[in-house]
A and B are shown apart, each in its own frame.
Chain A
Amino acid sequence: DQQVKQNSPSLSVQEGRISILNCDYTNSMFDYFLWYKKYPAEGPTFLISISSIKDKNEDGRFTVFLNKSAKHLSLHIVPSQPGDSAVYFCAASAESNYQLIWGAGTKLIIKP
């Protein structure tokens, strides 16, 4: 049973527009959420995170929103740039367990 789900395998967005990537989770014990970005032939790199005590965290063009009641988080990228084309992974952890649980990833394609 997947505890972290990214239901969109891919997403195509026009350059300059907003990209919204979604992630759902089932384990109510998760209290920390992260987004990682992965380019081909490279390992994932950390992008942004959010604690369950917050509902929003912003870092430049990237904003993560957390809706605990819906067990849903989203990553907004504004404006989208060609270099944002990558696979984005959502991951979650519980304070009592140091393991990160990962979603399957969403491939974001930014069209010129």
Chain B
Amino acid sequence: DADVTQTPRNRITKTGKRIMLECSQTKGHDRMYWYRQDPGLGLQLIYYSFDVKDINKGEISDGYSVSRQAQAKFSLSLESAIPNQTALYFCATSDPRDYDEQFFGPGTRLTVL
């Protein structure tokens, strides 16, 4: 079984809809991250969490919110989706003793019409 899973893998939605992307991990890592990737660009950090009670904004947090329900679960919400949020979204985890090596989920492809 995969160590980092994301659901759904693909989602098409309409402008103005609320969307939640979910991430679960079995690696036992405290640190979790949400990234988005746009064509021709690198990954951009949306939010990160160093433990259940610690949530931090990344480079591009506007229009997004997150919830860390447990050590193993970190969800990303788009409160009112807009077309320029169409992108590939990745969840990642890392061990604080080796924080720079991040382990990624397979990604969620989100299309906002």
User: Please, could you name 27 A-B residue pairs with CB atoms under 8 Å apart, sorted by A?
Assistant: A4-B42, A32-B100, A34-B100, A34-B101, A41-B106, A41-B107, A42-B106, A43-B4, A43-B90, A44-B43, A44-B90, A44-B104, A45-B103, A45-B104, A46-B102, A46-B103, A49-B101, A89-B42, A91-B42, A93-B100, A98-B31, A98-B48, A99-B59, A100-B43, A102-B42, A102-B43, A104-B42
Pairwise interchain contact A100-B41, C-beta atoms closer than 8 A: no
The residue from A42, A98, A104 contacting B41, defined by CB atoms under 8 A apart: A104
Q: Given A9-B40, A99-B59 in contact, is the A49-B100 Cβ separation under 8 Å?
A: yes
Interface majority SS (helix, strand, loop, mixed), chain A: strand
Residue of A nearest to B92 (CB): A43
Minimum CB–CB distance for A27 against chain B, Å = 14
- Specify which chain A residues have a CB less than 8 angstroms from the CB of B45 in the assembled complex: 99-100
* Number of residue pairs spanning A and B whose beta carbons lie under 8 angstroms apart: 53
Minimum CB–CB distance for A104 against chain B, Å = 5
Residue of B nearest to A4 (CB): B42
Residue of B42, B43, B45, B102 with most partner-chain A CB within 10 A: B42
Cα-based distance from A63 to B45 in the complex (angstroms):
27
Residue of A nearest to B4 (CB): A43
Mark A residues whose CB is within 8 Å of B.
4, 6, 9, 32, 34, 41-46, 49, 89, 91, 93, 98-105
Pairwise interchain contact B42-A103, C-beta atoms closer than 8 A: yes
Minimum CB–CB distance for A46 against chain B, Å = 5
- Specify which chain A residues have a CB less than 8 angstroms from the CB of B92 in the assembled complex: 43
Pairwise interchain contact B100-A43, C-beta atoms closer than 8 A: no
The residue from A46, A98, A101 contacting B99, defined by CB atoms under 8 A apart: A98
The residue from A6, A43, A46, A101 contacting B101, defined by CB atoms under 8 A apart: A46
Residue of B nearest to A43 (CB): B104
B83 at the A interface (CB under 8 A): no
Minimum CB–CB distance for A33 against chain B, Å = 9
- Specify which chain A residues have a CB less than 8 angstroms from the CB of B103 in the assembled complex: 45-46
User: Which 7 A/B pairs are nearest by Cβ-Cβ distance?
Assistant: A43-B104, A102-B42, A102-B43, A104-B42, A46-B101, A103-B42, A44-B104
